[in-house]
Amino acid sequence: MRSDETTTRHAWMVLGGIHLLNQTAPRRATDPIVLVRVAPQEVCVPSTTVVIRWNALGDCPVQALSADSTWRGTSRIEGKALFPDAIAGTPLHELVGTDAAPGLVPLCYLAEHPAGGYHAYAQIRFHPEDACFVRTTREPVGHGPVELLRWLEPVLSSRAELSMALNNHLRYFRTHFAGTELEYKYTLDPAPDIWAASMGLLKALRDGELRDCRPEYREEFQVHHTENHLFEVTGPGSEVGYASFIPTVSAGYVLKRKWFTEDAFARRERLSSGLDVTPDRFEEYLCSDLGLQARAMPPFQRVRYDVQCESMRTGHVYGIFFDRCSLLAAPNVVLSQCELEYRRSRSVLDNDTDEVLREMERVNAWLRSHLAARGWAQDHTFYSKLSFLRDAVAANPLLARP
């Protein structure tokens, strides 16, 4: 955020009883409302997602009021002393009293708007180290001094209206383009150590090298190691693409279906879990049970490291995956790629789906520059795993499965 923005705008984290979020008790005029003055916490303005880390807040002026705007007291509290163990700390007990303090939680983040009023961000995740907030206001609310609490009623009413999304773990996510995979691919040549490559890219995101973006809140990195038993689907015409069986850690397989006639940015995709079929019946299942015409391709091992990139401006999450695929029968036959894929959106406000595509183009431009600077790839492609397996068999027909 630019320094002039931080000096001209004011922001607060608002604390109150948990019943104001989950509606387990009626609102009362005597409910404590605590205004914790903080530096503006948005990575960018406007913003959809805000993450507040207690240890980064420093010394905060704090004002306690009742919900009817009655003054209760003031204090100064270190950010790290607000919620040790995600429980209201001693300074908050002293400010609001021992009866009210145990139920005290972050209600929202409140950002002053230059033209007057405030934008509100509802609290959706709350931990001993930090909390995450999502914007619920399209236009500023509650014009006037913050202490008058004119913003409180619209903020709490909006929270109640959106309670099914905001009060349930991860339901504030939505997915655009459901059933369609949107993906750019980069073939890495020479192939890097994908662990080091993913760690370097993750650090670049943490350092803010991609404007307005950060690693996804508490989901920044995942590791995957799977086998894939892939079959090219050659018919009927509407079913052309591939079907891949992926073993699970328990019993059964996930069946990944993709429909496409040529490698492309957008492809129809579906995952079916809990499939109870043995490897010797894979082809029979596809042909007899699903009515497909299928050709077995060489099975391969896939090692994949996922870096999740969240746009704090829009709430859209994009996965950047480094992976290495090697044939089980010929481990020296390897495909190393970096993939950029739209994943989901952390937002309760309606989004323009075209914005997903525009922003993905911007993320892709940054990723292309990041990879090119290291000599791994110069431009994206849509080269699929199916094309890789076809090319491997064409180069060595002995790899073809009977």
**pLDDT of the residue at 6:** 45
User: Residue 61 pairs with which residues in a beta bridge?
Assistant: 76
The pLDDT tens digits for 47-58 are 999 999 999 999
The count of C-alpha atoms lying within 13 angstroms of the C-alpha of 306, restricted to the half-sphere facing its C-beta, is: 17
CB 186 within 8 A of CB 336: no
Q: Is the pLDDT of residue 4 over 70?
A: no
- Other Cβ atoms less than 10 A from the Cβ of 17: the count is 23
Residue 225 has pLDDT above 70, yes or no: yes
Residue 100 is classified by DSSP as T
pLDDT score of 402: 64
For the chain, the structural domain boundaries read 3-166, 174-399
357-377 residue pLDDT tens: 999 999 999 999 999 999 999
Share of the chain above pLDDT 70, in %: 98
Q: Is 45 strand, coil or helix?
A: coil
Residues 11-39 have pLDDT tens digits of 999 999 999 999 999 999 999 999 999 99
* pLDDT at site 3: 39
Task: Return the half-sphere exposure (C-beta side, CA atoms, 13 A cut-off) of residue 356.
Answer: 23
C-alpha to C-alpha distance for 231 and 264, rounded to whole angstroms: 19
pLDDT confidence bin for 250, thresholds 50/70/90: confident
What's the fold here for domain 174-399?
A: Hypothetical Protein Pfu-838710-001 (2.40.320)
Beta bridge partners of 222: 306
Backbone angles phi, psi at 22, to 5 degrees: -100, 0
**Sign of torsion over alpha carbons 65, 16, 36, 88:** positive
**What would the pLDDT profile of 193-212 be if each residue is shown by its tens digit?**
999 999 999 999 999 999 99
Query: Cα(61)–Cα(80) distance, rounded to whole angstroms?
Result: 13
Residues pairing with 60 in the sheet: 77
> What is the rounded average pLDDT of the residues 76-86?
97
> How many angstroms separate the CA atoms of 391 and 402, rounded?
17
Overall average pLDDT of the 251-260 stretch: 94
Whole-number Å distance between alpha carbons of 173 and 151 = 25
**Of 130, 125, 133, 135, whose CA–CA distance to 56 is shortest?**
130
> Are 101 and 113 in contact, with CB atoms under 8 Å apart?
no
pLDDT score for 249: 84
Tokens of 41: 């916490």
State mean pLDDT over 153-162.
96
Per-residue pLDDT at 7 exceeds 70: no
- Cα 244 to Cα 22, 234, 279, 335, 394, distances in angstroms: 43, 14, 11, 17, 20
Q: How many CB atoms lie within 10 A of CB 363?
A: 20
**For 339, how many CA atoms within 13 A lie in the half-sphere containing its CB?**
23
SS3 string of 238-300?
HHCEEEEEEECCCCCEEEEEEECCCCCCEEEEEEEEEECCCHHHHHHHHHHHCCCEEEECCCE
**Under 8 Å between Cβ of 243 and 231:** yes
Give Cα 199 distance to the centre of its chain. Answer: 18
Residue 384 has pLDDT above 80, yes or no: yes
CA-only gyration radius of the chain, Å = 26
Taking only the tens place, the pLDDT of each residue in 258-314 is: 999 999 999 999 999 989 999 999 999 999 999 999 999 999 999 999 999 999 999
Residues 6+ apart with CB under 8 A from 7: none
The 8-class DSSP code of residue 11 comes to: E
pLDDT > 90? residue 351: no
- Indicate whether 214 pLDDT > 80: yes
Token pair listed for 361: 């183009």
Structure confidence at residue 201 (pLDDT)? 98
- Residue 226: its pLDDT value, please? 95
